[in-house]
Structures are given as structure tokens and as C-alpha cells.
Amino acid sequence: MSKPGGDASPSLCREAVVEYFPEICPDYLMVVGQDHGWNSQKIITILVDQLDAGRPYPRRARPVKRKRHDENYHDGIGYVNRDIPGHRREALHDGYLVTYRKTA
């Protein structure tokens, strides 16, 4: 861990603060950093004081998981294996029934 202090550049300040608060919102860190002259020690002290007072710091937004369209999905049949040319789900199903009848 780097030692927090009066950092000369915004990037060094951000790195020092993120080491202690990895989930901090980057936009909030930018505003606080500009307000306090990119002094990481001062920013860390402010964040700890906020936490002690029961006011959590803004955290980075978590990405929302969204369903993606699956290109392997075929209308009503289900998933089609594109590795086997001419492969159809119904054909496998029919073969299974024939095999089942022979063994039963």
C-alpha cells in the first residue's frame, strides 16, 4: 500500500484513496479530490469521519445483469447445436424414442 499524503497528481491521489476504499464512486472521488487539492490523506480522513458519523460514502454502481439474445436459440425448438451441420433437436428426440423402444 502506498502511503497517503499530499499527492501532486490526481492519479496518485485516486490510487491511494482506492486502496482504502475500493468501492468508492469515481465521480464522487473526483469531486472530493478537486475540493481538497488532491490530498489523499485529507480525503481518507473525510471518508472515515463520514463513516463514523453514519453517513456512508457513495459507492460505485454495480452493473446490472441483463439477458442477452442467444443466437443459438431457434423458434420453439430450443437450443440448436451449430457445430453439427444439419443437426435438429427433433431428430435426436425421434432417435431416442426408437432406441428406447428397442431396449424396452
Number of domains, the chain? 2
12 and 46 in a single domain? The answer is yes
7 and 55 in a single domain? The answer is yes
In a domain, 67, yes or no: no
Q: pLDDT at position 62, please?
A: 82
Q: pLDDT at position 53, please?
A: 95
Confidence of residue 94 (pLDDT cuts 50, 70, 90): low
49 and 6 in a single domain? The answer is yes
Place of cell 424414442: 97
58 and 79 in a single domain? The answer is no
pLDDT tens column, 4-60: 555 568 999 999 999 999 999 999 999 999 999 999 999 999 999 999 999 999 999
Whole-angstrom distance, CA of residue 93 vs CA of residue 20:
57
Q: By residue range, what is the domain housing residue 91?
A: 73-103
Whole-angstrom distance, CA of residue 72 vs CA of residue 6:
55
pLDDT tens column, 56-92: 999 998 877 766 665 555 555 545 455 555 555 555 5
Q: pLDDT at position 42, please?
A: 95
Regarding pTM above 0.85, the answer is no
- The residues pairing with 79 across neighbouring beta strands, listed in sequence order, are 73
